[in-house]
Amino acid sequence: MISSVRGEVLSVGLDHVVVEVGGVGMAVQATPATLATLRRGEQIRLHTALVVREDSLTLFGFADAEARELFGLLQTVSGIGPRIALAALAVLEPDKLRTALAEGNITVLTQVPGIGRKGAERLTLELRDKVTAVGGGEPSDTAAAGIAGAATGVAAIRAEVVEALLGLGFPAKQAEQAVEAVLAEHADGTTSTVLRAALTTLGRKR
């Protein structure tokens, strides 16, 4: 298992970062919040989990070990794959997610796209007694810096953010409405800030 990667950031996308490790560029899937702390050219370290499928090898990266452990724990529940597990960590901070699981807070858990009421109930039933053992991960040495570069045009930002939200599982109409609402108040925002604000908006509406 590849438990961490360290190297130079070659590029940062809406859903992944490419890190050069030993001369090889490794694509690592991550949440918008994690990606927003990275900038091209800096040296970083990410805690990682490798998901192996018959037709793919996908690496997922996290700012700390706690988030990585929660990512793995969520997937022990039937019906929860890496896509939904990553979406959960994109919408909910690890502490909030752990608390919701421990307290059986269905309302909070159903904020995650792809998790309905039955799925949320199954999560709390199976993980309620396990989440207390998750946490206290080692501090991350990922630099807390925003993605470099000036904001692109509003139209381009709108299209990119909607695409990222669709990739996280949100319905198209909800994604578009959330992005429009954010841009109406923050027309000068960058792609990453608009994406994070849209996620917050969607979380409140669900």
| CATH number of the domain where residue 116 is located | 1.10.150.20
Residue 144 lies in a domain: no
* Segment-wise mean pLDDT, segments of 10 residues, the chain, 206 residues: 89 91 92 89 93 88 91 92 92 90 91 90 90 51 35 68 79 84 80 80 66
At residue 37, the pLDDT reads 87
Residue 205 has what pLDDT? 56
> 93 and 42, same structural domain?
no
pTM: 0.66
Which CATH number is 175's domain given?
1.10.8.10
145 in any annotated domain: no
Residue 41 has a pLDDT of: 93
**H, E, C per residue of the chain:** CCCEEEEEEEEECCCEEEEEECCEEEEEECCHHHHCCCCCCCEEEEEEEEEEECCEEEEEEECCHHHHHHHHHHCCCCCCCHHHHHHHHHHCCHHHHHHHHHHCCHHHHCCCCCCCHHHHHHHHHHHCCCHHHCCCCCCCCCCCCCCCCCCCCHHHHHHHHHHHHHHCCCCHHHHHHHHHHHHHHCCCCCHHHHHHHHHHHHHHHC
